[in-house]
Amino acid sequence: MRGDLERVLFDEPAIHRRLDDMAAQISNDYRDRELTVIAVLHGSLMFVADLLRRIPLPLKLDCLSVASYHGKARSSGNVVSKEITAPDAADRDVLILDDILDSGHTLATIRETLETAKPHSIRVCVLLSKKKQRAREVHTDYVGFEIDDEFVVGYGLDFRERYRNLPYIGVLRRELLEQPDK
Ligand code: IMP
Ligand code: MG
């Protein structure tokens, strides 16, 4: 799988060092409060597992599963919720965790949906944010790393459901993005 990458952007130690800082900041910002964490699956799986174990606060965890890519490398803008659980969001401090902010469609849609539950507060935390003009602007409160507008995989992030199990994050070779699905 390493051979499918053009280069590694963040190795395991670099990711974990950044998670230490993010967790410390989140733990400090929410001290004496009880969080509802909403994880956007599947891409955020590794991030959520590693981040939450560094946050020693009482919290509830809920998961949303959405899809807007349908095997392409660009967002279709049509964000489909595959499973909507009913997160305990009313009057709570909600923290949305996602792997990557790209076009903004996913997080803008999720945020709008959660706002209808009248939470006390909503913040957004992403591991990666692409530096680009977004179709929908999304305010982020916590960002792990800002990256260039390239397609990345690993540490939960996939291309056609592959590469999620890589322990590091890297840029996928461009020609693989253009190959027909098999
Ligand atoms: P957005 O709706 O375009 O902001 O895309 C958000 C979702 O698309 C993320 O949660 C990812 O699942 C997926 N995504 C966006 N960019 C990438 C990438 O570079 N690699 C893998 N998945 C990506
Ligand atoms: Mg995702």
Q: Output the residue whose Cα is nearest ligand 1's atom 12.
A: 43
Write the pLDDT tens digit of every residue in 46-64. Answer: 999 999 999 999 999 999 9
The domain total for the chain is: 1
pLDDT at 130: 98
Is position 73 within any domain?
Answer: no
The answer, yes or no, to whether any atom of ligand 1 lies below 6 A from the CB of 163, is: no
pLDDT at 179: 87
Write the pLDDT tens digit of every residue in 134-181. Answer: 999 999 999 999 999 999 999 999 999 999 999 999 999 999 999 888
Per-residue pLDDT band for 66 (boundaries 50, 70, 90) equals: confident
Which of the residues are catalytic? 102
Q: Output the residue whose Cα is nearest ligand 1's atom 19.
A: 151
Is position 48 within any domain?
Answer: yes
CATH at residue 29: 3.40.50.2020
The answer, yes or no, to whether any atom of ligand 1 lies below 6 A from the CB of 151, is: yes
Write the pLDDT tens digit of every residue in 95-144. Answer: 999 999 999 999 999 999 899 999 999 999 999 999 999 999 999 999 99
pLDDT at 79: 67
Is position 104 within any domain?
Answer: yes
Q: Output the residue whose Cα is nearest ligand 1's atom 16.
A: 102
Is position 56 within any domain?
Answer: yes
In this structure, the number of other CB atoms found within 10 A of the CB of residue 121 comes to 13
The answer, yes or no, to whether any atom of ligand 1 lies below 6 A from the CB of 92, is: no
Per-residue pLDDT band for 1 (boundaries 50, 70, 90) equals: confident
Is position 75 within any domain?
Answer: no
d(CA 102, CA 151): 10
- Among the bound ligands, name the one nearest to the CA of residue 75: 1
Domain limits for position 135: 2-67+84-177
In this structure, the number of other CB atoms found within 10 A of the CB of residue 150 comes to 15
Write the pLDDT tens digit of every residue in 9-26. Answer: 999 999 999 999 999 999
Is position 145 within any domain?
Answer: yes
Is position 140 within any domain?
Answer: yes
Q: What is the pTM of this model?
A: 0.93
The answer, yes or no, to whether any atom of ligand 1 lies below 6 A from the CB of 145, is: no
Per-residue pLDDT band for 80 (boundaries 50, 70, 90) equals: low
Is position 136 within any domain?
Answer: yes
